[in-house]
């Protein structure tokens, strides 16, 4: 019995701003979970300025791109499906799985451009320099889905820029809901409003150790050698739990001294939302697991795209392309790179 390919992405994205000039972004779990090896379909792509960008999965309606961009893409379904990235103006963002909530329009009408959900990031990166320009561009945009191998692509999005603002875009009944001045964190379903409200259940979480309490005349101290910070955070891998953990990590993370220090800190800080292979089986009848396939970090100022796939935790990086006429493709590697010391 053949298992059909399906959109089984889980992810998390957080916008972090520190005291340094670098504004970094993070996205996890890019791409499709397929029976085939992930390297067969996922690539980091680097698209130079001026390349035609089409709004759909096929080649109609191309417009010349004003900005270059780099990001993770899923190939093999027509035009590349960009799931995260950064452009030369410092606009960054990610597409995340939004099952049971995404509602798309049937057509765009005469005054708007129909954009496939998998092409929205590329469409915006090629023409927008900021969150403000993104919001303006969306006024003339309609998300119109075209099933891929008979399956829809339910998605919502988070984008941010050098100002630090993060905007969340969710396709719902009645059109696009655009949330401004957000917390800067996004995972999967439910919607952003629900996730933000759910944070009220965790207002007591702190990074400080808890003071001892006296109970029935006995002093009771917490376990952990004063490592009780974060007590009360949910520990499972559901979307709401990962949202909560990321929100607190974003708030409490220590900023880096420079770009590379910040990148290193972000890869460590977001390890708690990595989904290891084996804990989340996608189908009881097949050995296919929902898991973190790749972790990426982007810098708005330098435009560098850093990534580390699950099978090789060494950090790789791709710079924004110089002038050119060809899209560059970079694979994710096929094994762990070990730095032998003897």
Q: What is the pLDDT of residue 227?
A: 60
Q: What is the pLDDT of residue 4?
A: 30
Q: pTM score, two decimals?
A: 0.88
CA–CA dist 97, 176 (Å, integer): 16
CATH fold, domain 12-330, is Penicillin V Acylase; Chain A (3.60.60)
Q: What is the pLDDT of residue 11?
A: 62
Q: How far is CA 209 from the centre of its chain?
A: 31
Could you give the strand order of the β-sheet that contains 328-330, starting from the edge strand earlier in sequence? 175-179, 166-172, 155-160, 92-97, 81-87, 69-74, 42-47, 328-330
3-class secondary structure, 63: strand
CA distance between the termini of the chain: 48
Q: How far is CA 140 from CA 61, 108, 113, in A?
A: 14, 9, 6
**Any idea how long the chain is?**
342
Q: Is the dihedral of CA 135, 137, 139, 142 positive or negative?
A: negative
Instruction: Give me the residue label for tokens 């979307």.
Output: 239
Instruction: Give me the residue label for tokens 């001045």.
Output: 181
CA–CA dist 238, 104 (Å, integer): 25
Peptide bond connecting 212 to the previous residue in cis, omega within 30 degrees of 0: no
3-class secondary structure, 185: strand
Q: What is the pLDDT of residue 228?
A: 60
Domain limits, the chain:
12-330
Instruction: Give me the residue label for tokens 């451009």.
Output: 113
CA–CA dist 69, 92 (Å, integer): 9
Contacts of 7 (CB under 8 A, 6+ apart): 32, 97, 148, 151, 152, 153, 154
Tell me the three-class secondary structure of 265-320, residue by residue: HHHHHCHHHCCCCCCCECCCCCCCECCCCEEEEEECCCCCEEEEECCCCCCEEECC
The pLDDT tens digits along the chain (342 residues) read 322 333 334 566 655 433 233 344 443 433 333 333 344 589 999 999 999 999 999 878 888 899 999 999 999 999 999 999 999 999 999 999 999 999 999 999 888 999 999 999 999 999 999 999 999 999 999 999 999 888 899 999 999 999 999 999 999 998 999 999 999 999 999 999 999 999 999 998 888 887 888 999 999 887 766 566 778 899 999 999 999 999 998 888 888 999 999 999 999 888 888 888 888 887 888 888 888 889 999 999 999 999 999 889 899 999 999 777 799 999 988 789 898 999
Number of alpha carbons in the 13 Å side-chain half-sphere of residue 298: 31
Q: What is the pLDDT of residue 3?
A: 29
């Amino acid at each position: 019995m053949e298992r059909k390919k399906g959109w089984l992405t889980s992810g998390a994205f957080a916008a972090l701003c520190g005291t340094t000039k670098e504004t970094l972004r993070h996205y996890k779990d890019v791409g499709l979970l397929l029976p085939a090896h992930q390297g067969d379909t996922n690539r980091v792509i680097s698209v130079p300025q001026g390349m035609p960008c089409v709004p759909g999965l096929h080649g109609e309606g191309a417009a010349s791109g004003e900005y270059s961009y780099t990001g993770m893409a899923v190939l093999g379904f027509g035009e590349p499906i960009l799931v995260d990235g950064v452009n030369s103006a410092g606009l960054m963002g990610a597409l995340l799985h939004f099952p049971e909530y995404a509602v798309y329009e049937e057509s765009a009408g005469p005054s708007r451009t129909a954009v496939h959900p998998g092409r929205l990031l590329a469409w915006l990166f090629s023409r927008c320099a900021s969150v403000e320009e993104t919001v303006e561009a969306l006024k003339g945009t309609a998300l119109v889905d075209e099933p891929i191998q008979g399956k829809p692509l339910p998605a919502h999005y988070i984008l941010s820029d050098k100002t630090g603002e993060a905007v969340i875009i969710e396709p719902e009944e009645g059109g696009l809901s655009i949330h401004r001045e957000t917390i800067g964190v996004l995972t999967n379903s439910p919607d952003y409003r629900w996730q933000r409200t759910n944070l009220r259940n965790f207002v007591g979480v702190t990074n400080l150790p808890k003071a001892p309490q006296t109970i029935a005349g006995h002093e009771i101290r917490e376990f952990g050698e004063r490592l009780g910070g974060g007590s009360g955070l949910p520990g499972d891998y559901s979307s709401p739990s990962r949202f909560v953990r990321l929100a607190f990590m974003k708030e409490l993370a220590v900023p880096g001294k420079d770009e590379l220090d910040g990148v290193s800190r972000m890869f460590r800080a977001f390890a708690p939302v990595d989904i290891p292979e084996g804990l989340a089986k996608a189908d009881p009848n097949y050995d296919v697991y929902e898991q973190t396939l790749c972790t990426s970090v982007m810098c708005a100022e330098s435009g560098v795209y850093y990534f580390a796939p699950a099978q090789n935790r060494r950090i790789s990086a791709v710079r924004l392309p110089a002038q050119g006429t060809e899209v560059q493709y970079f694979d994710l590697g096929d094994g762990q790179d070990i730095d032998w010391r003897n």
